[in-house]
Amino acid sequence: MLKAILNALRYVLNFEWLAGVSIGAAKNVFLVLFVLIGILVLLIPNDYIYKGLKKRKWWLNLKLWALGDLAFIFITYYIF
Amino acid sequence: MANAYMIGNQAIVQRCLAAKSEWDAKASMIWGAFLKMFIPMLVLFPGLIAIALHPGMEDGDNAFPLLVKELLPAGWGLVGLMFAALLAGLMSSIDSMLNSTATLWTKDIYEKYIRKDATDRHYLIVGRMATIVLLIFGVITSPVSQYFEGIYVAIQTFLSFFQGPVFSVLMLGIFWRGTTQWGGLFGLLGGITVSALLYIFKGYLFEIEDPFLYVSWWSFLAGLVIAIVVSLFTRPHPDERLYGLVYRLPEPKPNTAQVGA
């Protein structure tokens, strides 16, 4: 009984239940995740983004900065 | 779990609090996130080069100094420059950690529970003394790292005890207005307990020798579940107390009766 519980725990904790997922599929999951985060970034209100600034310039829009970060990591994951 | 460090680590958060404006704090975090993406490369490449040059190397902590000694040209001052940069980075990290820990001790424990109505100067001295004590404690306990495979593994193992539970409570508090202080407390303590148990029984539970990332993730999940369950069974805080703390929580409307009067 104890051994069965330990084996079940090991199966869960070591992510053996994900062993059937291919590297390509896992990569796609992460790429979709980055796109979703990008959509969430776009949904942030501009007032919140520019809080603390006197003048609003397009290059100070932190959404662009965050999308740049996401694009970088997306491309890195996509290539490798 | 890099998010746990960038969002939940007091040393990082404190740097944001020192920013000129809210925009500067946000911009610094995005810039930091960009630089953070290069960390795996910066950590991996010297190690790979060291393995290629010295396949039989026993202690991984010797890799970097060995590369500096062998590969950097002598006589140009580059070795000195490299160690100056290394020490500067080390000192910057250590003083941030000492400062943030001393602040947590002084503001959240000493001022709250030990001596409430002292002067600012008193708290300043207490903070400085805490810094010295922490530094001595760090020096005394540093040999502990020899029981691990390397300094990196030691640091990650210690971090894995706390970063998952802290991050879970932090995220929940920011995004869910139903989080209560008891939920947070139990989530934190429960998550740390799970971390400790996973580490103690790692030989039975994990297939790899140093499962710090696994421990971080599962303790994060445990902290999250415990905090949600306890929060659901405890009385939620009124919105007025949560405004400014919970993301996109609408500002409380002024009491019309009082305004009219």
Q: Which tokens in the block code for residue B133? A: 């004590």
Q: How far off is chain A from B54, nearest CA to CA, in Å?
A: 27
A50 contact B CB<8A:
yes
Per-residue confidence (pLDDT) for residue B192, from 0 to 100: 95
The residue whose two tokens read 């996509």 is A78
Q: Block means of pLDDT (10 residues each) for chain B, length 261 residues? A: 79 84 92 88 86 85 85 84 88 86 90 90 93 92 83 85 92 92 95 94 90 93 96 90 81 57 41
Per-residue confidence (pLDDT) for residue B91, from 0 to 100: 87
Q: pTM of this prediction?
A: 0.80
Among residues A64, A15, A49, A38, the alpha carbon closest in space to that of B24 is found at A49
Q: Which tokens in the block code for residue B230? A: 């306890």
> Is the pLDDT assigned to residue A3 strictly greater than 70?
yes
Of A15, A52, A76, the CB nearest to B23: A52
Per-residue confidence (pLDDT) for residue B261, from 0 to 100: 41
The Cα B202–Cα B149 span in angstroms is 15
Identify which has the larger pLDDT, B144 or A12: A12
Per-residue confidence (pLDDT) for residue B116, from 0 to 100: 86
CB contact under 8 A, A62 and B24: no
Q: What is the value of ipTM here, to two decimals?
A: 0.85
CB contact under 8 A, B27 and A62: yes
A78 contact B CB<8A:
no
Substitution target in B194, B207, B215, B216 with the highest count of A β-carbons within 10 Å is B207
Q: Which tokens in the block code for residue B132? A: 């010295």
One-letter amino acid for residue B172 of the chain: L
B119 contact A CB<8A:
no
The residue whose two tokens read 């900065």 is A65
CB contact under 8 A, A53 and B21: yes
CB B1, CB B213: distance < 8 Å: yes
One-letter amino acid for residue B236 of the chain: P
Per-residue confidence (pLDDT) for residue B226, from 0 to 100: 97
Per-residue confidence (pLDDT) for residue B70, from 0 to 100: 87
- Gyration radius from chain B CA atoms: 23
The Cα B173–Cα B184 span in angstroms is 8
Per-residue confidence (pLDDT) for residue B260, from 0 to 100: 44
> Is the pLDDT assigned to residue A50 strictly greater than 60?
yes
Reading phi first (left if > 0) and then psi (alpha if -120 to 50, else beta), residue B57 is in beta
> Is the pLDDT assigned to residue A65 strictly greater than 50?
yes
